Structure 1
Amino acid sequence: MSNYPLSYKLSWLPRFLRPSLSGDVRGFAPPAGMLIEPPPARTVRLAFVGDISAVANRGAPDCDPAIKALLASADLVVGNCESPVVERPSAVMGTRLGTHHAMDERFLVAALAAVGIAREKLVLSLANNHVLDQGVAGFDETVAALKRLGIRTIGTAAKGPVERLAVGPLTIGFAAFTLWRNADATKFSGRVSMQGDPAQWPPAAAKGFDLVCAVPHWDWEFRHYPRAETRALARQLAGHGVGLIAGHHAHVVQPVERIDKTLVAYGLGDFLGTAFARQPWPGRISSILAVDVSADLGMRGKIVAYRMHPFMRLRAGDHERLVSVEALEGGMRDKVDARLKAIFGGQFASA
């Protein structure tokens, strides 16, 4: 049914219990940077969040005011809808166990309100391995529910490999796709974009935009450093005109790379926990990527500055508390700082 190799399946639980810091640590960039100085007069801010799910949350999260302020500052927030939005799960037992994802409209609306994301400024990718967890009917219900809520979506096969969205004065192309599926290929085909090879896109697919942004669901889970194959795909996307890449699926924070003029954030972690409620602490570190893009004539679509904003998802009864790293205290702050310095090669420094 799924397309995961056996070695991947066997490594899932050990890596969930202890996220890996092994891998190639060379060639990564700092977690923040100013690329154009002096900054242009007009910019558009994009904020990318990780996977959104109700698996580890029965209620809406509590949110640090600093995180709400950051999200409110964005002209567009882009995330991954890891749970189908359905009124009643069809995969009842799997949903109870957490292997099949689901969330209802009430949870999603309450969660967005709690973190300060305005629905009209939100775009959710449906290109992920869990989107068909509640079957084809659940997928159709998800598409209809998000449309009813006024939330734009990307990553459906019907819209083609690159979708056009207006963000302020800019026209941005979004290429959302998943390399992984939990259901049969025939169910994903024609519904969910798996067009991750830009060489297979139509010749003009990435043309006519101020900026092309890829939102891939890729790599292996619970590994802080991306695999060589993932980095090779990032280079391929960059070579086909993609200027910004913000990835999901690893469920842990991964580093940043600059490939010529292309900015790559390999993994942002979960925005709302997608695994079991009792998750080891390294997997609770997440991040928001804020990217300022020039809207000035002559520099339209160029990345001005970027910053990874790490935060922690702490357990609070039946839901999570989203806490900025700066607000952590004591031993937890020390552990998180040490892990972030390991991920970013010592280049991370919290305030």
Structure 2
Amino acid sequence: MSNYPLSYKLSWLPRFLKPSLGGDGNGFAPMAGMLMEPPPRRTVRLAFIGDISAVANGSTPDFDPAIKALLGTADLVIGNCESPVVDRPSAVLGTRLGTHHAMSERFLAEALAAAGLAREKLVLSLANNHALDQGVAGFDETVAALKRLGIRSIGLAADGPVQAVKVGLLNVGFAAFTLWRNADESLFAGRVSMGSDPAGWPRGFDLLCAVPHWDWEFRHFPRAGTRALARRLAGQGVGLIAGHHAHVVQPVELIGETVVAYGLGDFLGTALARQPWPGRIGGIFVVDVSADVETRGAIAAYRMHPFVRLRGSGHERLVPVEGLEGAMRERVERRLGAIFPSPLVGEGGSAR
């Protein structure tokens, strides 16, 4: 059984058809910020992308060259593997209806290649509500597929709450977990990380980063409980938080020295191919981290790079907002303006 409250279930379809701008929009940060002046001499760049799925793609998606170039600047790219990677789905009817996710190993490999993502620079979280959509065998097949592809995974309960990844000169700890599950807790236990309490997490990293699958879907502003969890994580030494699950772009918040990107939307569509346009806005969250001895692990700068997934012939085409034209660009810019305050943090003075 899933763990969604009834009110959540009843609101899913209305919010999918019309993503909500309701909620508390106070206290959030601009889309980009320079947090260290002067900037450090050496930095490591992390790029966070949203949910990855084949649901809205019958064939390999297309990527605008600007998106490929941006991802190419990162030392490490971190995303969420929203669909089990299986060649033959076991939940045949559910997969056909879209209630159970699945994508083939071939699709994932070709999509990553089309995006210009080097597998050795990629980390994918398996801590999400769809992890057991194809049963235990599908979960095991997914873990094996990522290993075959040479992609590091996080969010596996067997690996402990935090996985260490060496990124350039930095030792970064990634704590991926999900608050939501689509199957019985007994199936998730021991397989998928569900622990959100940082009190027992190991320390000693240059930067501790949380990758939570949290909040409610199709709402641009996070709920009060989500923001409270972000404050708790920040209070326990988590310096960077990049969340998933909302399937729409959510704002950025600065909590002391911690930078929080509540939701990045979808990187590759996880819902119906003809999803309403606000749900087709995604974001690539780029974070530059100091590698200088004096400030090692501190966030030097961040920027949300929004894009839109346009519907092509049987697949999606990812285009940065600057590449849009006419009414679509105006609608997207208005929506982003309602989510992100301006101007840039650091213009006319430091944010801290």
TM-score range, shorter chain: over 0.9
CA distance in 1, matches of 2:313, 2:212: 32
Distance 2:88 2:194 in 1: 27
1:218 corresponding residue in structure 2: 214
Identity level (%):
77
Question: Residue 242 of structure 2 contacts residue 263 of structure 2 at CA under 8 Å; is this kept in 1?
Answer: yes
Which residue number in structure 2 is paired with residue 136 of structure 1?
A: 136
Mapped partners of 2:54, 2:21: distance in 1:
27
- Per the alignment, residue 318 of structure 1 pairs with 314
Match of 2:298 in 1: 302
- Does the 8 Å CA contact 1:206/1:212 hold for their aligned counterparts? no
The answer to whether the Cα contact below 8 Å between 2:209 and 2:238 also exists between their aligned partners in 1 is: yes
The equivalent of 2:9 in structure 1 is 9
Aligned to 1:265: 261
* Structure 2 equivalent of residue 97 of structure 1: 97
Separation in structure 1 between the aligned mates of residue 30 and residue 87 of structure 2, nearest angstrom: 42
Alpha-carbon distance between aligned partners in 2 of 1:257 and 1:141, rounded to the nearest angstrom: 37
Task: Decide whether the 8 Å contact of 1:206 with 1:242 is kept in 2.
Answer: no
1:314-335 CA-partner distances (Å, limit 9, x unpaired):
0002100000000000000000
Partner of 2:349: none
CA distance in 2, matches of 1:111, 1:333: 25
Which amino acid counterpart does residue 159 of structure 2 have in structure 1? K
Whole-Å separation in 1 of the counterparts to 2:54 and 2:343: 33
Q: Deviations over 1:190-236 (max 9, x none)?
A: 0000011223x2xxx34110000000000000000000000000000
Rounded to whole Å, the distance in 2 between the matches of 1:206 and 1:221 is 30
Q: Is the partner of 1:186 in helix, strand or coil?
A: helix
Q: After TM superposition, which residue ranges in structure 1, 4 or more long, deviate above 3 angstroms?
A: 345-348
Shift of 1:278: 1.0
8 A Cα contact 1:32 1:308, kept in partner: yes
Pairwise mapping of residues 19-168 of structure 1 onto structure 2 (< 5 A)? 19-168=19-168
What CA deviation, in whole Å up to 9, does each residue of 1:19-68 have, x standing for no partner? 00000011000110001111111110000000000000111111011100
* Matches of 2:316 and 2:237, distance apart in 1: 38
Report if aligned partners of 2:282, 2:307 keep a CA contact under 8 Å in 1.
Answer: yes
What SS class does the counterpart of residue 329 from structure 2 fall into? Answer: helix
Task: Give the RMSD, CA atoms, in angstroms.
Answer: 0.8
Which amino acid in 2 is paired with 1:258?
L
Paired residues of 1:170 and 1:295 also in contact (CA < 8 A): yes
Amino acid at match of 1:284: R
User: What residue in structure 2 maps to residue 235 of structure 1?
Assistant: 231
Q: Whole-Å Cα distance in 2 between the matches of residues 79 and 90 of structure 1?
A: 25
Which whole-Å CA distance do the structure 2 matches of 1:190 and 1:315 have between them? 38
Counterpart mapping for 1:200-211 below 5 A: 201=200, 205-211=201-207
Distance (whole Å) between structure 2 residues aligned to residue 293 and residue 60 of structure 1: 32
Any conservation in 1 of the 2:208–2:237 contact (CA below 8 Å)?
Answer: yes
What is the identity, as a one-letter code, of the residue corresponding to 2:94?
G
In the aligned structure 2, how far is the partner of 1:165 from the partner of 1:190? 22
> Among 237, 243, 250, which residue is 1:254 paired with?
250
Amino acid across the alignment from 1:261: E
Q: Please tell me whether the aligned partners of residues 81 and 126 of structure 1 are also in contact (alpha carbons under 8 angstroms).
A: yes
TM-score of the superposed pair, with normalisation by structure 1: 0.97
After superposition, what is the alpha-carbon deviation per residue over 1:132-166, rounded to whole angstroms, capped at 9, x for unaligned?
10000000000001001100000000111111110
Offset, 1:347 = 4.8
Distance in 1 separating the partners of 2:273 and 2:112: 20
Instruction: For residue 145 of structure 1, give the secondary structure of its aligned residue in structure 2.
Output: helix
Amino acid at match of 2:325: E
Which one-letter code corresponds to 2:128 in the other structure?
Answer: N
| Residue identity in the other structure for 2:285 | L
Quote the Cα distance in structure 2 between the aligned partners of 1:47 and 1:252.
Answer: 17
For residues 249 and 3 of structure 1, what CA distance do their matches in structure 2 show? 14
Residue in structure 1 matched with residue 350 of structure 2 by the alignment: none
Distance 1:44 1:184 in 2: 39
Using the alignment, how far apart are the partners of 1:218 and 1:311 within structure 2?
Answer: 22
